[in-house]
Structure 1
Amino acid sequence: MRLCLRLCVFSLTLAVLHGCGGSDEIEKFQVTGTVTYQGKPIEKGSITFDPADNQGISAMGGIENGQYTAEVPPGEKIIRVSAVRVTDEKDEYGEAITETYIPAKWNQDSQLKKTVKPGEENKFDIALD
């Protein structure tokens, strides 16, 4: 009987403690769109959505053939785009050299902002000059 009572108290304690913890899951929404640079789709790269107020987490998605999809928390975001391309040059081992070609104003210095809204289609087509 005592063992049964102890097991019941232990089980009840675990249930209460489990229920007291908040969820660490952050609500995210699908964001899609296209990205072009100088009128051409970015073949391969990445797009980052940083919180405009520096609060919360960032989200990132891959860019393939000018298309991207990302799961992003709601709110105003600063959008940063990065991409590399292969040059005609080779390194000392004969491997192709790549270069980053998206200017800083669309990457680390970006001021491009969009707002991710719950319950809405979050489709952002981005044309970089």
Structure 2
Amino acid sequence: MFYSVATRPARSFQRSYPPVASNGALEKFLNDTFSSLPDAGAAKAATVEDLEKSYTLQLDVPGLAKDQLDIGIEGDVVRVASKAEAARSVKAAWRFPLEIDVANSSAKLENGVLTLTLGKKIPVSNVTRLDIQ
């Protein structure tokens, strides 16, 4: 027996369904369920604050020493990862709107909280004026 794939226009699959729960009960149930999973709290453990000349990133890394963490900055991407010999595994990355100025950035680890102060690299205009003859 031979089956062929039936192709239908995409508009035939677009249907609108009424909301399952109009009072938000489903959303509350799903949020409560997924927030109780072990890895679900990892994303909430970081906070980013956008200041005038820098970004501040705070990440909870309890049980890790500063020599067990590796911080990498490449353009506008910041990566934090634990080394292989660390007691627990941490791996996260963030992309920022502006590139990071590494010379004006610093990292501090206190009481299991890693605080990164990341300087913003303000773009410089390379516009050259051309005189009309």
Q: TM-score category by the smaller chain?
A: under 0.3
- Identify, as 1 or 2, the structure richer in strand: 1
Structure with the larger RCO, 1 or 2 (CA within 8 Å, 6+ apart): 1
TM-score by length of structure 2 reads 0.21
Please give the TM-score of this superposition, normalised by the length of structure 1: 0.21
